[in-house]
Amino acid sequence: MRVLGQPILLVFSLVLLSAPVWADIPVGFVSWDVNFPGNAGQFDITNETASNASTFPDMTFPIVTGVTLSSLTLTVDFSDGSTTVFGSSYFTPSGLSFDGSPIGIGGTSLQPIDAILTGDFSPLTVALNDGSTANINAGFTAKILPSAGLNLNDGDFAVIAASPAGGPPPVPEPSTWVLFSTASGGLLLFRCHGTRNKTKATDKFATKPNRVLNTAFWVWCVMLLPLTSWAVTSVKLNANTMPSTGVAGVNNVNATGSGFLAGIITPSNIVVSWEGTCGGPVVTSTFADSITTILGSTKRVNVAIPGGLATGTWFIQISDSAVGDANFNSSDCSAVNVTHTNTLLNACVPSSSLGILAPPTAGAVSAYVPNLYVSPTGSDLNSGTVTAPWQTVQHAFDNVHPGQTVCFRTGTYPMTVSSGYNQRLNNSGTSSSPITFTNYPGEVAIIHGNTLVRWHSCRGSGLYLRGPNGSSLGYRRHPKHPRRDVRPRGDSQWGLPCGSVSIRRIQHQVDRLLRP
């Protein structure tokens, strides 16, 4: 019976793969998503119920009832030992999921080191994808810890789970065909085992029946294949990415799906197809940046939004057919809303994909205006590109045009004059195409010397402005415009590469930087 017992044990192990092995029932997850690398991240909540639920027999996220999360509180600890508590207003609903609000992480900004999310579920009686129901408790707590190092990393997450009310969740009853297949398999194994122990004379007469039994046995094995995760070849994507919106050429978003195969999946082998309609013509294709296992067969695929995509809703499909990878194709799409390009956001992110692509629907697409780059190690004889930057602030002032962004690389830009203004901006932007000066993401640029800005529609972000030899500065009104001043916008802690200055009138003199 030992020979017979092992196959039967295997059979029942396969059947029980469809049963949940956790005490709590997974509802979704909260994650730290660095959607603007080097500059900002946010805490997003991905709800894996209703249409995002796993497909039976995969019970990774089994709740098919739409579960609402409410009374949300997010407590974040930062690298300096401080703690910030965010209420429900921090989150923006995206269907049953939530987009978080950006938190600056560039330059010397504080870094989140952990986070705790609490809230309530509704309703408290839910249907599972196997046809059963479960009663759950109202409250939940999920804590995100760093996967490596002291600070949270992109993609760090915590599963949001519902605890069963009055005991563990019920083990779903196997479907009729599963019971039939299991019983048939056991009977076949028993008969095969009995046949092997017959005499040689008897075996001669049992040859044909054994062939029938063997054939039936293999058919039965094939029937059981859908019960195992390694038989899944199609990935089901969530209806929307997280976050659900992003800026073309700037932000990253995440496509979450269930049904991924066990095995190696190389991010650079994952083809991301961008379509104007789900299943429609592919407008452009990119590759994934990373892939993270959330739970069971559910994974998060991080992708960058290609530069130049027109404003509107785009649809993502993913696939991997590389040799050596656990291959898959998505059976549906994740939608992402591509917003208008924000000059201050996308200012200094170089990308080979910044060309304009055809919009999903008819409409005008603005021409791409290249950024300009300045570095203390550059040369004013260069072309001003990211690989051949200029050297001086004045050269950038003289050659910038409306709609362009000047990106200052890390380092100090020294004074070149003994008195007066070290740099003068005489060029002007327009209200629709302003001129922007900013630091390169994650870098600190320090500009020495008095600066005169003569025209309007210019704005700056993320720059240290200092006086002669690095002395402190303050704002000073120009005598011709006593009621108009350079006004700080954004972070009020001046001297950090995360604030911004908005210059609204001509002839403003930026030679004193007043700390608030």
pLDDT tens digits, one per residue of 358-390: 333 433 333 445 678 899 999 999 888 777 889
Tell me, yes or no, whether 29 and 140 share the same domain: yes
Which of 109, 137, 162 is where one domain is finished?
A: 162
- What digits encode the pLDDT tens for the residues 292-346? 999 999 999 999 998 778 889 999 999 999 999 999 999 999 999 997 654 344 4
Residues 201 and 249 in one domain: no
Res 209: pLDDT: 54
* Residue 359 CB partners (closer than 8 Å, separation 6+): 276, 309, 310, 311, 312, 365
What burial class does residue 316 get, using C-beta atoms within 10 Å of its C-beta: 0-12 exposed, 13-18 middle, 19+ buried?
Answer: buried
Give residue 73's pLDDT band: very low, low, confident or very high (50, 70, 90): very high
- Asked, for residue 492, whether it belongs to a domain, the answer is yes
What is the mean predicted confidence (pLDDT) over 277-286? 93
pLDDT number for residue 404: 78
Q: Is there a single domain that holds both residue 141 and residue 183?
A: no
Cis-peptide, bond into residue 281, ω within 30° of zero: no
The pLDDT value recorded for residue 215 is: 59
CATH number for position 278: 2.60.40.10
Question: Are residues 226 and 239 both part of a single domain?
Answer: no
Kindly state the average pLDDT of the residues 201-206: 46
Are residue 31 and residue 6 in the same domain, yes or no? no
Structural domain that includes position 319: 234-346
How far, in whole angstroms, is CA 335 from its chain's centroid?
13
Q: Residue 425's pLDDT band (boundaries 50, 70, 90)?
A: confident
pLDDT at 44 over 90: yes
* Of the listed ranges 133-137, 162-166, 246-250, 438-442, the one predicted with least confidence: 438-442
- What value does the mean pLDDT of the chain take? 73
Bigger pLDDT: 150 vs 193:
150
Sequence-distant (6+) residues with CB within 8 A of 464 are: 444, 445, 446, 447, 495, 497
Residue 191: predicted pLDDT: 52
C-alpha 192/C-alpha 215 separation (Å) is: 11
What predicted TM-score, i.e. pTM, was given to this entire model?
Answer: 0.58
Question: CA 469 to CA 449: how far, in whole Å?
Answer: 7
Look up residue 174 and give its amino acid: P
Distance CA 114, CA 83 (A): 10
Q: Say yes or no: 223 and 238 in one domain.
A: no
pLDDT at 267 over 50: yes
Q: 267 in a domain, yes or no? A: yes
CB neighbour list of residue 90: distance below 8 Å, 6 or more residues apart: 43, 72, 74, 100, 101
The β-bridge partners of 407 are: 373, 438
Residue 355 lies in a domain: no
d(CA 312, CA 246): 10
Instruction: Among 116, 136, 162, give the residue marking a domain's end.
Output: 162
The answer to whether position 362 is within a domain reads no
Residue 443: pLDDT over 60:
yes
What pLDDT, on a 0 to 100 scale, did the predictor assign at position 306?
86
166: left (phi over 0), alpha (psi -120 to 50) or beta: left
Looking at the DSSP bridge assignments, the partners of residue 264 are: none
482: which strand partners?
Answer: none
Residue 377 lies in a domain: yes
Of 230, 247, 262, the residue at which a domain comes to its end is: 230
Same domain, 186 and 277: no
User: Which pLDDT score, from 0 to 100, does residue 478 have?
Assistant: 45
- Please indicate, yes or no, whether residues 40 and 57 belong to a single structural domain of this protein: yes
In a domain, 169, yes or no: no
Looking at residues 338-359, what average pLDDT do you find? Answer: 45
Could you identify the residue written with the tokens 């779903």?
172
**105 in any annotated domain:** yes
Q: Are residues 50 and 137 in the same domain?
A: yes
Determine contact, residues 237/278, Cβ cutoff 8 Å.
no
Number of domains in the chain: 4
206 DSSP 8-state letter: H
The dihedral built from the CA positions of residue 195, 196, 198 and 203, taken in this order, carries a sign that is positive
Q: Give 492 or 294, the one with higher predicted confidence.
A: 294
Q: Are residues 35 and 154 in the same domain?
A: yes
Q: pLDDT, tens digit, for every residue of 462-481? A: 455 554 554 444 444 444 44
Instruction: Please report, rounded to a whole number, the percentage of residues in the chain having pLDDT higher than 70.
Output: 62
pLDDT at residue 99 above 90? yes
Are 223 and 241 members of one domain? no
Cα-Cα-Cα-Cα dihedral of 344, 349, 353, 357, to 10°?
0
Q: Which pLDDT value is given to residue 441?
A: 67
State whether 9 and 34 are in the same domain.
no
Instruction: Decide if 352 is inside a domain.
Output: no
pLDDT, tens digit, for every residue of 208-251? 555 655 655 555 554 444 444 344 479 999 999 999 998 887 78
278 pLDDT more than 80: yes
